[in-house]
Structure 1
């Protein structure tokens, strides 16, 4: 029953007003660096079997802060499939401008049908599929008792949460994932369990249960 801590990268100077996508050379700003250090301190006492990251700079910096806060840092694993959605011709444009595009309404209401424009544009459904496959392969690689962190991007984490909940991708816009937040999913043979969503608190003691169980959900919600 691997437990995966999905960590969204910290803030950059472009987070929010601009769709950064795969734009190179977009590091964390001072706010984002502070957020990354805070997350690193939160996770410092938790056993992590691996720290995996998107190849984009803002994620690598956030993941490195998690490693830097640990007594035995270990190595950073870069995984291309946890990279941001490839937004094609939308990359680098302001969101207020994109909101005037006809495709914007499709992104909001029917994202499973979206293919971003341009030669590098990617279907949102394909981005979800590659990320889900990456999680499954890392789960298999690290083993059933693994606890590991994955630093990725908002839309990718939202798509992974939708998959974990068995939701159609068209529902993923109902999910919120803030910068430097933790979203935790425990994967069992029967089903995934969403343990935490968009968490920015302090106490992580309940992330990994003492008794892993067999994957059955407790009737009545459990204690």
Structure 2
């Protein structure tokens, strides 16, 4: 059995303003976000993976000081296209934004990724990380990534299925997951044990 922790990064200035902070926005943690990460007793992990964006690398370095991390480009947040860096107030009155809202987030982001494209990319990154774990016989791992990345992975793999937006988490929240390695190797790529952690290190 392999145990993993999917952890959303700490708060950023864009998060505090309710902005679409995606793949194109490489901002750092806010002072509040840095403070969030201090004095945390994190779950044990044999290996730590992160998105390459600063907010994730910075969070991982604060949660797991003196540990090397492995960055995986495919785990980056969604490309929000023309919505990138804006919040709902700034997008109010934008016809393309209203169309996206009316679709309940199923339409592609104009000039960015569709949910399907984003999910496919995230799964590829997740599979690469799991293969690395299995090759090195790691039994525990942590992924410090983005809220959208977590939603994409769990929406695709958890049995029984739950809808995409049901997997939303706040900054520094996440999920503890377990994977049966032999079943995974045999082609049954699913996650059957998931527990939400308000603070994954508690």
TM-score (norm 1): 0.75
Listed one character per residue, the Cα deviations across residues 97-135 of structure 1 (whole Å, up to 9, x for unaligned) are 4465211222x2x62xx21112xx111111111211222
The total of aligned residue pairs comes to 188
Return the alpha-carbon distance in structure 2 between the equivalents of residues 99 and 178 of structure 1: 24
1:148-159 aligned within 5 A: 148-159=141-152
Query: Quick one: structure 1 residues 47 and 33, their matched pair in 2 at CA, closer, same or farther if it must change by over 3 Å?
Result: same
Aligned-CA RMSD value: 2.3
Query: Quick one: structure 1 residues 61 and 96, their matched pair in 2 at CA, closer, same or farther if it must change by over 3 Å?
Result: same
Unpaired runs of 5+ residues, structure 1, are 204-223
Task: Indicate the residue corresponding to 1:206 in structure 2.
Answer: none
2:32 pairs with 1:35: no
Match of 2:114 among 103, 117, 123: 123
1:26 CA drift (Å) = 1.4
Unpaired runs of 5+ residues, structure 2, are none
Query: Quick one: structure 1 residues 99 and 124, their matched pair in 2 at CA, closer, same or farther if it must change by over 3 Å?
Result: farther
Return the alpha-carbon distance in structure 1 between the equivalents of residues 201 and 108 of structure 2: 38
8 A contact 2:46–2:138 mirrored in 1? no
**SS of match in other structure, 1:42:** coil
1:1-223 aligned within 5 A: 1-15=1-15, 16-38=17-39, 41-43=40-42, 46-68=43-65, 73-98=66-91, 100=93, 101=97, 102-106=99-103, 108=104, 111=106, 114-118=107-111, 121-143=112-134, 145-166=138-159, 171-188=163-180, 189=183, 190=188, 191-200=190-199, 202-203=201-202
8 A contact 2:2–2:178 mirrored in 1? yes
Query: Quick one: structure 1 residues 163 and 61, their matched pair in 2 at CA, closer, same or farther if it must change by over 3 Å?
Result: same
1:23 CA drift (Å) = 3.9
8 A contact 1:24–1:57 mirrored in 2? no
1:29 CA drift (Å) = 1.0
Task: Indicate the residue corresponding to 1:220 in structure 2.
Answer: none
**SS of match in other structure, 1:184:** strand
Listed one character per residue, the Cα deviations across residues 49-97 of structure 1 (whole Å, up to 9, x for unaligned) are 21111111111110111221xxxx3311111111010111110111234
Return the alpha-carbon distance in structure 1 between the equivalents of residues 24 and 79 of structure 2: 10
Return the alpha-carbon distance in structure 1 between the equivalents of residues 172 and 200 of structure 2: 11
Once the two structures are overlaid, the 10-residue window that deviates more, 141-150 or 178-187, is 141-150
